[in-house]
Structure 1
Amino acid sequence: MATIYQVSEAAGVSLATVSRVMNGNAKVSDRTRKKVEDAMASLGYQPNAIAQSLASNRTNSVGLLVSELHGSYFGDLMSTVEQVLKQNGKHVIITAGHVDEKREHEAIEFLKSRRCDALILHAEAVSDGYLKTLSDSNIPIVVINRNVDGLEENCFVVDNENGGYIATKAALEAGHKQIAYISGPQFKKDASDRLAGHKRALQEANIAFEENSMFEGDFHESSGQAGMQQLQDTFPGFTALVCANDEMASGAMTAAREFGYDIPSQLSIIGFDNVLFSRYLYPKLTTIENPIHAMGEMAAYWVLQHVYDIKSPIPIEHLFVPEMVKRDTLGSV
């Protein structure tokens, strides 16, 4: 079995240079890196991961906490983070917190026990105080879809309030006055911000927000269906329905067809997120772009730059602006 000493000799470089190449250090020239990699390949050298970790105090692994493992939103986040880090020789360990404080704590402790070099967290239940304490420890953290006071440079968020505003503003500009709303669970900051944006758009149009015009869902398709059913009784006559995510919008569309509505001539529906399936619904869903791909990409590049000294190929941005994606479910009255 080839040794690191043989690789060093074959490549004509020092042991330290070979070590830097194996650890993904950016301070090695492309020419030198190729010489070392060619020597490793020709000798069939396989680095000992444990020895590497002990020598460099790095495991070349990054922990990723998500709320759920299913759905287009989290699937896009996980695949984006994994792709960016893998291209730079790093591995991702993924776990889920299921929007429960105890389970998020346990998931984060699990990632720490795996000696991850950094943590990327889509955490919704643990407190800001906990995240600040975690950040003050010896492991760098990044927070996605949540702004924590004092950790702004570690957070990557979309302006959810403005997204909620844009969605309802579009319905108002199409002539709708009776607008129902299916929200996400209000203990979640993104859900409460989107509802606040909805209310701001109504206020600007001098339309009073009515409590019976809203149904609080859970971001899953079934609650969109349940919301559509309940709103028929509590807020009859609405001509537009704004939903706080695309999953609930798809459930609402199913229920609307069961009630005999034609979309959008009799009922307009707007979602939020622009997940993959939204463009394949019938009619195609008008929605708000939630750039989870871009946020995941930025989070991964932040880790590479701040933890591994690998310069990001693009400027690091922390706040993302939502945009309307106009398709076929918004009609005018």
Structure 2
Amino acid sequence: MATIKDVAKEAGVSIATVSRVINKSPKAGKTSIEAVRAAMSKLGYRPNANARALVKKNTNTIGVLVSDISDPFFGSLLKAVDQVARDNNKHLLIGNGYHNADAEREAIELLINSCSESLVLHSKALSDDELINFAKEVPGLVLVNRYIPEIAERCICFDNYKGAYMATEFLIQNGHQHIAYINSDHKISDAEERREGYMQALQDHNLPCPDHYTLDAHLSDRGGKEAMIELLAKNVPITAVVAYNDYMAAGVLAALEESNIAVPEKMSLIGFDNGLIARYVHPKLTTINYPIGMMAKQATQLSLKLAKNEEYTAENQVFQPTLVKRFSVNKIHSK
């Protein structure tokens, strides 16, 4: 692994100059900055976060990475982190990753360079190895909704597989035998795990799961609506739908309403997340509760303790789904 001495040698400058560039000192000249950055890039060198924090004496921030700050799901995550931060006289620095590896990497680098000793990351696009390397550099790094065995003690995750299994089985228990699934088109573990849970529930009950019963769609109400329209156009003989999240389920509801298909009388529907929208669509949406606020709170408390090198065992590292029954599922009887 390259050191600051290696960077100084490669750039042809002193170690002090490298330090000034790293810490963005106004005394660093343009030529020196360019030379040092080129050397760092060539050598794959990234300054140690703790060393930077000691130089700047800036330890009052918590860095948070989310996929999209405009998504209410991540709004709930941020609110929970902020509550813990305020209790500890900290402030938030926030980065968006958009399920994109380059964007996630850039945001994490920025948070580290801003000397955040505590990092709470919802990272889905970066590899396990990259996140492990970041964790080695930042003792206060904790992952939310991601499990990596090598740093399991720093992971606060959710059983997505069980949640989808639970949703599908609830429909089966209500007499449904032809159940469609509308999944996210993001290539992330959540989507894979939920699809697997859905399929396993069908298999365990000896029910059909043909390929045309499942669709991948954009992670939004529009995506859910378009997917449901496609299912209707295929004339798929289904009586129920499981949606990847509540916003996609809301789009499904809109498509069914426009086609004069009553929910739940003619089509049952289950969402995922138990977001605010689930309580205000009509009919109110049966869904799977995803306790992201509790998870984020736990992750932040763990992050703060790790940053201080204090002993701390998370109360719960794998959170479990629960079914929230409302009015979008109807019981049907076999003929």
TM-score by length of 1: 0.80
Name the amino acid aligned to 2:207: I
SS in 1 for 2:306: helix
Matched residue, 1:327: 326
For the residues of structure 2 that align with 1:106 and 1:155, how far apart are their CA atoms?
Answer: 21
- Counterpart in 2 of 1:111? 111
1:188 aligned partner: 188
Mean Cα displacement is larger for which, 268-277 or 228-237? 228-237
SS at match of 2:305: helix
Q: CA deviation at 1:57?
A: 4.4
Q: 1:91: Cα distance to partner?
A: 1.2
Flag the 1:105–1:269 CA change in 2: closer, same or farther, 3 A: same
Deviations 1:262-312 (A, max 9, x none): 110111110000011211111100000011011101011102222246887
Query: In the superposition, relative to structure 1, how do residues 309 and 91 fare at CA in structure 2: closer, same or farther (>3 Å)?
Result: farther
Rounded to whole Å, the distance in 2 between the matches of 1:235 and 1:259 is: 13
Alignment of 1:207 onto 2:196: no
Report the Cα distance in structure 2 between the residues aligned to 1:131 and 1:309, rounded to whole angstroms: 19
Runs of at least 5 residues in structure 2 that lack an aligned partner in the other structure: 1-52
In structure 1, give the amino acid aligned to 2:278: S
1:294 maps to amino acid: M
For the Cα contact (< 8 Å) 2:270–2:328, is it kept in 1? Answer: yes
How far is 1:258 from its partner?
0.4
- State the distance in 2 between where 1:311 and 1:83 align: 22
Which shows bigger deviation, 297-306 or 60-69?
297-306
Shift of 1:88: 1.2
CA contact (8 A) 2:66 2:122 kept: yes
Q: CA deviation at 1:208?
A: 2.4
Tell me the alpha carbon deviations over residues 197-246 of structure 1, each in whole angstroms, 9 at most, x when there is no partner. Answer: 00011001101211000110132111100110011133522110100111
**Secondary structure of 2:162 counterpart:** helix
The residue aligned with 1:216 is 216
1:127 equivalent in structure 2: 127
Does the CA contact (< 8 Å) of 1:213 and 1:234 recur in 2? no
Does structure 1 conserve the Cα–Cα contact (< 8 Å) formed by 2:224 and 2:251?
Answer: yes
Name 1:47's counterpart in structure 2. Answer: none
Cα distance in 2 for partners of 1:328, 1:215 equals: 24
SS in 1 for 2:330: coil
Matched letter for residue 275 of structure 2: V
Query: Residues 32-43 of structure 1 correspond to what in structure 2 (within 5 A)?
Result: none
The 1:155/1:308 distance shift into structure 2, 3 A limit, reads same
Structure 2 vs 1, CA of residues 241 and 321 (structure 1 numbering), >3 Å: closer, same or farther? Answer: same
- Range with bigger deviation, 57-66 or 248-257: 57-66
Percent identical among aligned pairs is 34
SS in 1 for 2:150: coil
Q: Name the SS for the 1:266 alignment partner.
A: coil
Q: Secondary structure at the match of 1:281?
A: coil
For 1:228, what is the secondary structure of its paired residue?
A: helix
**Given residue 324 of structure 2, which amino acid in structure 1 is its aligned partner?**
V
Task: Output aligned runs, 1:26-65, within 5 Å.
Answer: 57-65=57-65
What's the CA shift for 1:184? 1.2
Which residue of the partner structure matches residue 318 of structure 1? 317
1:290 matched to 2:293: no
Q: Write the distance in 1 (CA, Å) between the matches of 2:186 and 2:173.
A: 27
Give the alignment of 1:249-264 within 5 angstroms.
249-264=249-264
Runs of 4+ in 1 over 3 A off after TM superposition: 53-58, 308-312
| 2:178 and 2:208 in contact (8 A); partners too | no
SS of 1:151's equivalent? helix
Deviation of 1:185 (Å): 2.3
Distance 2:185 2:305 in 1: 35
Determine helix, strand or coil for the equivalent of 1:102: helix
| Structure 2 residue identity aligned to 1:327 | R
Post-superposition offset of 1:179: 0.7
Check 1:319–1:123 CA distance in 2 against 1; reply closer, same or farther (3 A cut). same
User: 1:201-280 residue pairs with structure 2 within 5 A?
Assistant: 201-280=201-280
Q: Which amino acid aligns with 1:321?
A: Q
Is there any run of 5+ residues in structure 1 with no aligned partner, and where?
1-52
Conserved? CA contact 1:212–1:235, under 8 Å: no
Distance 1:130 1:60 in 2: 25
Q: Counterpart amino acid of 2:216?
A: E
